[in-house]
Structure 1
Amino acid sequence: MSNIKALTDALSQCYTGVVHDIMRKEGFRNFTLPKELTALLPDQILCGPVFTIEGCVDETADGHQTLLEWTDLLSKAKAGHIWVSQPHDHTIAHMGELSSETLKSKGVLGCVIDGGIRDTHFLKAQGFQAWRRFHTPRDVVGHWLPTGFDVDIIIGDVLIQPGDFLLGDLDGMVRVPKSHVEDITAKSEEAMNTENKVRTAILSGTDPQEAYLQFGKF
């Protein structure tokens, strides 16, 4: 866990633009989450490894069963990780006040949901970061059941696997494969150092093209 926290801390000091550029340069594709997913707390960075949730609509589901299975998901939540959900549903909320309070108390960093949330004012007051598509007062009761935990999911065109890292800031969110997170983070840090040199050169009056040719970055 200490290594995971160290990686989380290091990646969180980067920003999505530089991580994106490094991953593109390294040949990665389909790692930027859909622009329609936005942060409830725009100025709060969300970064860390993920555990995943998948489910489906079942309008014949018993209300009691839906809540039993939902609370079972909450029980499995992992401290120091991000809850990432592909509910295959754009009708109801897949995060609300009691759930977010539970997750926050367990040490979950935040959530990313390819769907909706509710109790928004409570989540804001809690400071619980939620990336989502929409808000609605409708909940999961009698409508939705989970089908998988810590399974591969797809959001937009991005494959997300358990243990992968996400980084989200004001520009959007990127997925960094767990097998490459150390390398991508190190190269992002190096790129930011180079950008600082370019910035200093520009501010001192260097022509932008000359700065680009000198440092190989812009």
Structure 2
Amino acid sequence: MAGNTGNEADLTARLQACYTGVVHDVMRDLGLRDFTLPHDIRPLIPEKRLAGPVFTLSGHIDHNADPHETLLQWTGFLGKARPGTVVVCQPNDATIAHMGELSAETLQRRGILGYLVDGGCRDVDFILEIGFPVFCRYTTPRDVVGVWLPDGMDVPIRIGETDIHPGDYILADRDGACVLPRAQAAVIVTAAEAAVQTENKVRRAILDGMDPQQAYLKYGKF
């Protein structure tokens, strides 16, 4: 399966060098709305920033599911997730873990950049040990076996108030997560890079003694 294109890899690296605060401000100034994910989706490894194009996954609870079928479908997803992407999952569930030890290592070895789920995770100590970036709402030892089935891959999903489409970009850090529409991602990243440079000028000016209001008026940013 093909990995990131050159353009995707370059944009991912540039986005990785940004942070959610500046990306948020750029998107707000562009008139975009509903692009931040719920604030209780948090990183297992706070120092790990997550950035890249999105591969989506959705699923649902089925208490009558055959255990073999749940594992068959889950391992099918693990084999189909596209290298060079961030998997973003809407499990439509708040009771079980939708990521764990072997799955995290499998995705990492296949070149997946990280995993963000509007749900749960388990085997946290192991995931911390291998350093695979995971963002989730909660942790629990309960897993997918016999109770949860994937029902869509690379399809539009919705988390909170945010619609997420395959190929959109995501940036997540310890402040939260922003989803960048694919068609505007390059423009947003370029503007964020420029904003960082302006912020650096404001910072230097204030450290050199300039009044903060004067610094804001001079550079138009704070």
TM-score, length basis structure 2:
0.97
CA apart distance, 1:191: 0.7
Q: Does 1:129 align with 2:96?
A: no
Give deviations 1:103-126, integer Å, cap 9, x for gaps: 011000110010001111111111
Q: Does 1:174 align with 2:174?
A: no
Aligned to 2:6: 2
Q: Return the alpha-carbon distance in structure 1 between the equivalents of residues 201 and 109 of structure 2.
A: 42
Give deviations 1:43-74, integer Å, cap 9, x for gaps: 01111111000011110111111111111101
Aligned to 1:36: 40
Aligned to 1:86: 90
Indicate which of 154, 159, 163 corresponds to 2:163.
159
Q: Return the alpha-carbon distance in structure 2 between the equivalents of residues 139 and 196 of structure 1.
A: 46
Aligned to 1:192: 196
Q: Which amino acid aligns with 1:187?
A: A
Aligned to 2:218: 214
Large movers: runs of 4+ above 6 Å: none
Aligned to 1:24: 28
Q: Which amino acid aligns with 2:210?
A: T
Give deviations 1:123-159, integer Å, cap 9, x for gaps: 1111011000111111111101111100110111111
Indicate which of 56, 63, 71 corresponds to 1:67.
71
Which sections of structure 1, spanning at least 5 residues, go unmatched? Answer: none
CA apart distance, 1:23: 0.3
Q: Return the alpha-carbon distance in structure 2 between the equivalents of residues 103 and 179 of structure 1.
A: 26
Aligned residues: 218
Aligned to 2:116: 112
Q: Which amino acid aligns with 1:108?
A: I
Q: Return the alpha-carbon distance in structure 2 between the equivalents of residues 178 and 35 of structure 1.
A: 22
Partner SS for 1:145: strand
Q: Which amino acid aligns with 1:14?
A: C
Which sections of structure 2, spanning at least 5 residues, go unmatched? Answer: none
